[in-house]
Amino acid sequence: MRVIATATLDAFAGAAADMVCDQVRGKANSVFALPTGNTPIALYAELARRTRVGLMTFTSTRVFNLDEYCGLSAADPHSYAAFLRSHVVEPWGLPLSQARLLRGDAADLAGECRAYDTAIDVAGGIDMCILGLGVNGHVAFNEPGSAWDTTTHVVNLAHATRAAHERQAADSWQIPDKGITMGIKTLREAGQILLLIAGSGKQAARAALDRAVADAAWPVTSLLGHPRLTILELSGVVEHR
Ligand code: GLP
């Protein structure tokens, strides 16, 4: 496990972007699992900048999102699919066929989970999984107490998760009770994991990682022992751009 601490948002985004670029230089058609939330916004902006100025091209990459709210269509501006389209798919110039985003509004959610797992398998698995960290230690939407042998599945969102999202929302909207998420087994099977830690309220989850003991109450500890785990943290509060 590698831990990198950065002092500024630019250094945080730059270090994460360097890792993404190294991955793509090594394998142009890398498969990524990508997070939403405030934490990765500066990373996505930096990757978009590198694309714009011609430093990098991501057009062969394939992307999956980690999670989605149940009940939201990809056209809903609150959906994670919409977030990833505007922060990643469009700036990277990805054909839609290379971006498989969870369908939160699927009539058959169990079927959607199976189809998603099949799509990940067909892509050859996740090469690089980038994760944010929930205030309660969740990764993607794997909430405290989740099983660790799971693939894509539907979850009940924890109270702490819904409260955090309500606080972050720019407008008032009813946060759904349920989410759909890649499971911990899928995350752990990724070739490499980049865990991004930034923002307020993450201290307790970070402390669980420091204890270095696998603990189902802190899903992030399921990542411990992964052979290529990097923890990249910003010691300060994330600025919003
Ligand atoms: C949500 C997402 C996670 C994300 C987490 C942290 O719950 N499901 O994938 O990592 O929020 O969000 P933020 O980066 O805004 O702190």
Q: Is the predicted pLDDT of residue 138 greater than 80, yes or no? A: yes
Question: pTM for the whole thing?
Answer: 0.95
Mean model confidence pLDDT for the chain = 94
Write the pLDDT tens digit of every residue in 73-108: 999 999 999 999 999 999 999 998 999 999 999 999
The pLDDT value given to residue 120:
98
C-alpha distances in angstroms, 28 versus 11, 31, 96, 190? Answer: 24, 9, 17, 16
pLDDT-above-90 percentage for the chain: 88
Q: Would the pLDDT of 237 be above 70?
A: no
In the chain, how many H helices and how many E strands?
8, 10
Ligand 1 binding pocket mutation candidate from 138, 146, 193, 200 (most atoms within 8 A of CB): 138
Q: What is the pLDDT of residues 1-24, one digit of tens each?
A: 999 999 999 999 999 999 999 999
**pLDDT value at 236 more than 80:** no
Among residues 20, 26, 25, 106, which one has the least CA distance to residue 63? 20
Residue 235 CB neighbour total at 10 angstroms: 11
Helix or strand (DSSP H, E) at 80: helix 80-84
Q: pLDDT at residue 241 above 90?
A: no
Task: Please confirm, yes or no, whether 38 is among the known catalytic residues.
Answer: no
Residue 240 confidence (pLDDT): 46
Least trusted range by pLDDT, from 88-97, 151-160, 162-171: 162-171
Ligand 1 neighbours, Cβ below 6 Å, are 35-39, 66-67, 132-134, 140-141, 161, 168, 199
- With b for 16 or more beta-carbon neighbours within 10 A and e for fewer, the 140-171 pattern comes to bbbbbebeeebbbbebebbebbbebbeeeeee
Q: Which of 105, 136, 142, 226 is catalytic?
A: 136
Q: Can 67 be counted among the known catalytic residues?
A: yes
- What does the alpha-carbon distance between residue 161 and residue 233 come to, in Å, rounded to a whole number? 20
CA distance 34 to 194: 10
